[in-house]
Structures are given as C-alpha cells and as structure tokens.
Structure 1
Amino acid sequence: MKRANKETTTSSRKHTSTTTTASKTSSSSSSSISIDPAAAAGGVSLITPATTDSTTYIKIGDAATFQWNYTSLTISPSKVNVEAYCSSNEYAYPIAMNLSIKDTTVVWNTSKYEATASRPLLTAMYTLYIYNSSGSVDDTAEAGYLQPFNSYYFGVYAAQEYTNLTEFECPTCSGAFSLFQKNILSGTVMCSILASILSMLVLI
C-alpha cells in the first residue's frame, strides 16, 4: 500500500537461529526472552467500531472513537501511531502519533483537526492504521512483534447545507424540456389516447 507522507521505513529484523532471543527494554530495567519463530505475530483486535458492524461513516466536524486490544503480543513497542489513510490522495491523516502502548482508546476530533489542517479531510473511504511508531505500516512483523493493522475501512463525509426542494437543481438532469421535446411528448400522449379510443370502438 502506498504511503505519500511516510518518508522513513525500518528494515525487517533478521534472526539466524531456530530460537529467537529478543530484548525487552523499559526505562527502569531490561530483560531477554525467547520466542518460538513459529509463533504468530502480535496483532490488533478492533473493539470500537466493531468489525462486524456495518460500515461506519464519520461526518467531518464530529468526533470518532477507536478502541482495540492487542493479541499474541510478546514484544511490545513502546509507542504506536494511529492514522486514517485516504487512498484518494495517498495521505495518512494523523489521529494519534507516538501513543503509549498502554493506551488502547483514541478519540479523533475531526473538527479540531480541520481547524489547523494543511490537508483538509476528503469525502472518501479511509483505512485505519495502527503500527509501531518506530517502524512503518508496510513492515512485516516477526513472531511476537506487533504486525501493523490496516484492515478496517470507514467513510468520512462533509455535511451539505440544506437546499429547498424548489431550488434544487439536479447536476445530471436536463433543466427543462425544449419546445421540440414538448411537441414530441404531446404527440405521443395524443397518439396513445386515440389508440385507446379506437380500441374501445372496435370492441363495441
């Protein structure tokens, strides 16, 4: 999947032995653990919106909540990025950058974003991204590490101002019949009426 605003990527981690030894580092201590290379990569399980629900549509100006859990995660990244990727302009809109791995709920305030945005939101379909902030959404995770999440799609749209029905103009419809069209229509209607009368006379 193309990324227009992502300039850096990280190379894949390589392991040369049948048992992987990974370092898990925090600000206070560090330790080493072994990971079975055949084990699954860690993932993201979306809770809100539920993936079983119908497509979610977010009106620009409203706030949207995203909540998730991590699954099969042995080596946790310290921070993740949460973005809304729009393929129409190949741009990933930031929802929460460098979010602590402990935080699994974000509220996307589209009104606040639009107030200072250099790239306004488009009316389009978007993909939710959740991935290690030190990597890329295009990375392929190894056993126990966080696999980038990019499998939830939702819509974003701009509300339209109310238009009185009498003032509405259909952009794909003809504004009015021409005189020629009216004459054809009148002739067609008259022929239909005469054909009906003749049918009734025949039956009599």
Structure 2
Amino acid sequence: MFRDREDAALQLAERLEKYKNQNVVVLAIPKGGLPLGVIIAKALNASLDVALSKKIGHPYNKEYAIGAVSLENVVLTNDHGVAKSYITEETERIRKKLQSRFEMYHRNREPISLKGKTIIIVDDGIATGNTIKITAQLVQNQHPQKTIVAVPVAPLGAIQNLQDYKYIDQVICLTTPHNFHAVGQFYSEFEQVSEEEASELLRRTS
C-alpha cells in the first residue's frame, strides 16, 4: 500500500537511481502519471514529457480496455466481437481529445526528442497494460536507445505481458498483488488529477 502518488514516486525513484544523470527522458502518462513523473525526473536529473494515448473501453464496460489509441496508432488486444463501427467512432472521439491534450500540454514547449535516449514510461499503476503498449510502440517510432516501464503497482499477468512485448526492454514494478481490482485500491490517498493540474505540473518543470 502506498500513502499517495508522492510516496510511490519516491520508492520508484530509488529503484531507478542507476539512471541518474544519464541521457534519460521520463515520459509520464497523464493524468495520474504526471505527479510521479515530476518527482522521478527531478530525482534522476532527467527531462520530463507526456505520452498522449488513451484506452478504448468496451461498449458495455468503459473501464475494461479492449485497446488503446494515440494520435498515430491504434492497438487492439481483444475486440471481443465489438463492431468495427464502434471502434472507428471511439478512435475518432479519443483522437480529438488527445489533440486537445497535446495543445494544452505543449502550448509553450515543443515535445522532447526521444531519439537515442533512455525512455522511462511512468504511470501511477497498470490495470491491463494496453495504454503502456501503445505508448511503447509510439516511443519506438522515435528510435530510443532503450525503453523502460516503471510503475508502482500492477497485476502480475499485465507485467508478464509487458515483459514479453517487443517494444519494451525492461519493466520495473514495485508490487504485483494477487487481489488486484483497480489501481486506486493500493493507495491510501488517490485523488483524481485534473487536466489543468497535470498541465501545470508539466509547465513548472519546463
């Protein structure tokens, strides 16, 4: 159990200490990953940016991810017979939201180049891993030296799935509980992070 996102970030930063003062970019997944990303980037003396991708929820259970979308890619893990028209419509809807996020987060700054760098993808936890997968695929398009995923908590199955994923070199997860239902159950305090708060966190690190 973590006290809050700061506690989780400090513990992750300890595990990532060997990357301090290296050619590293911490890539946080908004919104919940940004409070961790800020702390980890500062601890490692690394640059910080955001990864813009979002899950596609099942039409009858939006929390259950059947895939994920970025501004450039779509990854489907199992469409469970969902109509292609639903996936197309959701992809278009999500991309509009991602474009809006891109304009918010990069209003006064250019995205950081990832070429030849060690990329550490950070989130406050993983449920299915779909968002992480599409983020790693997006990162690979920029030819990084190495891609690492670092999270406080996730189900063991999701971590094993990510470890086998061709675009990820290393996965660091502090705990893989058997009774996993949702990321928030492993935090004493797990308040939602607004778009404005996340954007401000990134702006202050520029």
TM-score normalised by the shorter chain: which range applies? Answer: under 0.3
Query: Based on CA coordinates, which of the two structures has the bigger radius of gyration?
Result: 1
Task: Determine which structure has the larger strand proportion and give its number.
Answer: 1
TM-score, normalised with respect to structure 2? 0.23
